[in-house]
Structure 1
Amino acid sequence: MARFVEAGKKIVAVGRNYAEHAKELGNALPTEPLLFLKPTTAYITEGQAIKVPITCTSLHHEVELGIVIGEKGADISESDAMKYVLGYTLALDMTDRAKQEELKKKGQPWSVCKGFDTSCPVSSFIPKEKIPDPQNIRLWLKVNEEMKQDGNTKDMIFTIPHLISFISSKFTLEPGDLILTGTPSGVGPVQAGDVIEAGVGDIIKVTFPVEKK
């Protein structure tokens, strides 16, 4: 599934899954996973650029561990959840923050602030055996060589098995689908001309330039 970007049918993202990140945006801690969807047209891979949406006034970076699903499943139990994981990817959940704040105040969906073209940069596929404990792995992100996010998946509010179980109770998961598991604290703005560098521990590293659309 090295080409999950082409094979997957959906991207299911989880919001507010790290307590410190929820606090930095003034959000209450969730009592169940907060889900939103990105279209697969949001994908870009290394060699492509993150494009700032024309109407965006505050584009934020969010580094995340992505879970690549290996087989079809619905109503998956937590005890069986990891059997459905094929591997991982490093992902960025690029967010039009000003638009998101506007939509939150109106109680409206987040599609346009989270799912625009180039809003889901990803690394190449990481085989499952490369991350033996996905619930204890460092996630980091730099902007113009300055460290902005430096967290660990052990701080997730909802674990990966819980997320897979919960999501599969709502949406059937299929091979190549991607789950974005949330971002640690330290999110912040980027603008055209910036360069984002991010990694999962020392396992994989990616670089994406930010450009005007």
Structure 2
Amino acid sequence: MSERDLQKTEKQVGRCKSFDTYTPFGPFVYANVDVSDLSIELRQNGQLRQQARTSEMIYSVAQIVSFANQSMTLVPGDVILTGTPSGVGPIHAGDELKAVIDNWPPLRNSVANAPNTSPVEKTKTNGISVERI
């Protein structure tokens, strides 16, 4: 998930992807799996939006883990996010997202409106546009 309104004003995308509920995974995570050539699929309301294989990634999973391990200590249970295949698009309240990796049980998430749909609150003070985050 990405907060696109905030992403327009941020130089780095990390914060735009780090809000509560933006990183769904589970209900369990497989361990000791060869992840070098898994199929990945995302459907939005039953329509295929993304489909790829981990073997098609620009950097292999091993390269990504090695790079992360050069700057931080990795411990059992850590999750490394690798990005997303092409096909991203807007989601709306009421949408159902279904993610499938190989033949594993799917991850299903329903999209709901948040009380404040954007973490950026825009106001004007003395004619000056102010963003409170």
- Structure 2 length as normaliser, TM-score? 0.78
Alignment of 1:1-213 (within 5 A): 94-103=1-10, 108-123=11-26, 124-128=28-32, 131-132=33-34, 134-213=35-114
Between the aligned partners of 2:81 and 2:15, the Cα distance in structure 1 is: 17
AA matched with 2:9: E
Residues 184 and 175 (structure 1), Cα distance of their counterparts in 2 relative to 1, 3 Å cut: same
Between the aligned partners of 2:14 and 2:58, the Cα distance in structure 1 is: 23
Higher relative contact order (CA 8 A, sep 6+): 1
Q: Secondary structure at the match of 2:73?
A: coil
Deviations 1:135-155 (A, max 9, x none): 211100011111100111111
Give the CA deviation at 1:118: 0.3
Between the aligned partners of 2:37 and 2:8, the Cα distance in structure 1 is: 31
Q: RMSD between aligned alpha carbons?
A: 1.4
Q: Which runs of 5+ in 1 are unaligned?
A: 1-93
Give the CA deviation at 1:101: 3.0
Q: Secondary structure at the match of 1:211?
A: coil
Give the CA deviation at 1:110: 2.5
- Structure 1 length as normaliser, TM-score? 0.50
Between the aligned partners of 2:78 and 2:31, the Cα distance in structure 1 is: 15
Counterpart position of 1:75? none
Deviations 1:34-87 (A, max 9, x none): xxxxxxxxxxxxxxxxxxxxxxxxxxxxxxxxxxxxxxxxxxxxxxxxxxxxxx
AA matched with 1:126: Y
Between the aligned partners of 2:14 and 2:82, the Cα distance in structure 1 is: 17
Give the CA deviation at 1:102: 2.7
Number of matched pairs = 113
Give the CA deviation at 1:200: 0.0
Between the aligned partners of 2:36 and 2:112, the Cα distance in structure 1 is: 33
Q: Which runs of 5+ in 2 are unaligned?
A: 115-133
Greater strand share, structure number:
1
Task: Could you list the structure 1 runs, at least 4 aligned residues long, displaced by more than 3 angstroms after superposition.
Answer: none
